[in-house]
Structure 1
Amino acid sequence: MKQMIATLAVSLGLAGAALAADPAEGTWKTQPDDGSYAHVAIAPCGSAVCGTIARTFNDSGEYKSPNLGKTLVIDMVPQGGGAYEGQVWRPSNNKIYIGKMDLNGDSLRLRGCVAGGLICSKQTWTRVK
């Protein structure tokens, strides 16, 4: 009986951990890039998280960008302590970079790098409530 209770407790604990949302999940507002910014929806994609462009904005307000629905944050794998590693796509030049993310509360710092990390571009996103 004790073994059955212990097995049940472990099983429930593992199920709860599997259902726990990644802290980076949610909607994030990017910094402006070439005069436009986006809301990016970050959600699980396998054992990583990915971010898809959900809404786009410019000086005139919300508009329908041809980039809607495209993946901007690609296979970011949690490294622990709020750090992630994967790739990022920059729509303004249509290039994919080695990417890193650092989550700190409602702030998400992204870096896209080339040349082995020698040249990087950075943005800090804020969580949309």
Structure 2
Amino acid sequence: MRTFRQRRAGAVALACAVLAWPAAWADDASPAGLWKNIDDATGKPRALIRITESAGTLQGKIEKVFPAPGESQNPKCEKCEGENKDAPIVGLVILSELKKDGDAYAGGQILDPDNGKVYRSKLQLIDGGKKLSVRGYIGMPLLGRSQTWVRQE
């Protein structure tokens, strides 16, 4: 027969587990963190993007690139316009102005450094927060393309 002390210890352990679970879940409930971008054509990693949140708005900046053989080790955004013209890809802000919209983040923009174009964007966590569906589009979300990024932290 279990003693009162054993039952109390079990209850305390259960309470700690129940209270800790939402905190662990909350970490995956936000896109904030480090993400690996996979090339659509080759299936190989292209970059690591750090997404941060400030005042309810998400921003994503390239932290590292994985150039293919023969590509520059320090690529620049040659096709970008304005302040991003010829800016180094590493350090480039490619996601901006995304705000929580239901279970997604929308209303922002994504920059494609390969073609220098800026698209409207929508992000949604999938696979329990381990992956991120990133959609860039013109006009309506139906007119665009999606990528799946993989969480690195």
Map 1:1-129 → 2, pairs under 5 A: 23-32=30-39, 37-60=46-69, 63-65=73-75, 66-81=88-103, 83-85=104-106, 86-104=108-126, 105-129=129-153
When the two chains are superposed, the root-mean-square deviation of aligned CA atoms in Å is 2.5
Q: 1:94: Cα distance to partner?
A: 0.5
Moved over 4 A (4+): 33-36
Separation in 1, partners of 2:41, 2:95: 18
Contact 2:135/2:141 (CA < 8 Å) preserved in 1? Answer: no
Deviation track 1:38-69 (CA, whole Å, cap 9, x = no partner) reads 10000013321100000000234993332111
Separation in 2, partners of 1:92, 1:59: 13
Pick the structure with more strand per residue. 1
Q: 1:114: Cα distance to partner?
A: 0.9
SS at match of 2:114: coil
Structure number with greater Rg is 2
Deviation track 1:75-114 (CA, whole Å, cap 9, x = no partner) reads 1101132x01011111111111010011121100011111
TM-score by length of 2: 0.62
Runs of at least 5 residues in structure 2 that lack an aligned partner in the other structure: 1-25, 76-87
Aligned residues, how many?
109
Contact 1:56/1:62 (CA < 8 Å) preserved in 2? Answer: no
Separation in 2, partners of 1:51, 1:93: 18
Separation in 2, partners of 1:56, 1:24: 20
Q: 1:33: Cα distance to partner?
A: 5.6
Runs of at least 5 residues in structure 1 that lack an aligned partner in the other structure: 1-19
Separation in 2, partners of 1:113, 1:51: 17
